[in-house]
Structure 1
């Protein structure tokens, strides 16, 4: 394969290859796109990949990568999509995907995205073994122009830091589900005017759900579409102020300790709701046929 020096595109996605990534790939200096993702058994990143200076797309995600990330990857200055973390700067990088690996630490201090990759809009570090919440400190000082941030299925602990409300001014989609996050749901999410989707399900969050709606302004109420809080320890009654989120398409509150009645007045503004999940709680659903007629495509649980 190393002799195919005029090759522009090489896609070995989900081919079930194992072993070391071959160093001969470094000879394919005209490559624009290299996809080795979802092989699960590949490991080791050869420094020879740093010779592929024409690459715009590199995806090594969803493997069992181990060892060091070679600094030679810093030569790949044309990258737009990167499926791993590197010790370098990428002024044109749009997507950084390091999901579905087994990394317990990404050595964030070695990643110099700060002030050099303002184009980065999508960061996916989901399904790794991240334990320390120091990742948040790194994020708030490096990637404040993000629109999509996926950190689900890790081992993150502690409360949700207020840095999200202070510096993540462009965030549209935040997924912190399936971690060990504790504390109450911060009300500052209502100040994040671009936020459209929030998934905090399957954590250890507690407190009254009404505290989430203390921010009556909810500047994002006209764009907010998805709220997932299932699988936590949240208590209290569903507040009427939830009706401010009139654009909701998904509302998932199951497996909590919520109580009281869910009435037509609670949900009267949800004409766009497509998925409603209230199972395994003490909530009672009491709505009339008028509201049901507006929800012909709603999925109930």
Structure 2
């Protein structure tokens, strides 16, 4: 390897779309650098970071499951908002032998909601499914945007602990994931002027995983369904949401958004977002 490079690490990692995203942007900008995927098992994470720290060509790495929290102890500085979220998804070489960790998931998650959040709402509520690393970023991001949160997980106590840690202000709720599986006849009031989200922050619905069981009677009219799963892009949750008349946001939106923040940190130039439509076509072939 004789060119600067960055990577994405995880276990597993073969399914990652990050090399295709960053490679597309590098080519568009004519930057002489590489971006690749590297499989790192949990027991090898410390050795991986130590080896890359000593490589002057390494610009950093994106961090995916299951390393987002474990990697925090292996870097020299934690930047906002990773310090609040309690998870790092991007590690950057600083040029002086030190490493900084940050989190681009929150910014990436909010990006496709920019137009919606620019409006004034009487009330904002988000039903968030999941209690893992991605959920931490999403809880932090939405609490900062004035949402009342309902966090659902297999362990409601863990969901409650996350809310107490990440969103201590506000009337938030923690419930069992099974609550959303059965139909409800709850009479939603007039939601005009409100913003309602249903977010899947788990791997449920991903290829090889069980589907997320969510009955759309739990969401008020005009809610937005947001699924962070990227494979498949059209998950059963989004299909059911669209059939029920809800607007949908797929996982590529967050993935591309968070990647753009990391790309600029790795390679010193903004990602060429004017090519997003072409990039999405490539990623969905």
TM-score when scaled to structure 2?
A: 0.31
When you count helix as a share of all residues, which structure comes out higher? 2
Structure with greater contact order relative to length (CA < 8 Å, sep ≥ 6): 2
Larger CA Rg, structure 1 vs 2: 1
Q: Normalization by structure 1: what TM-score?
A: 0.30
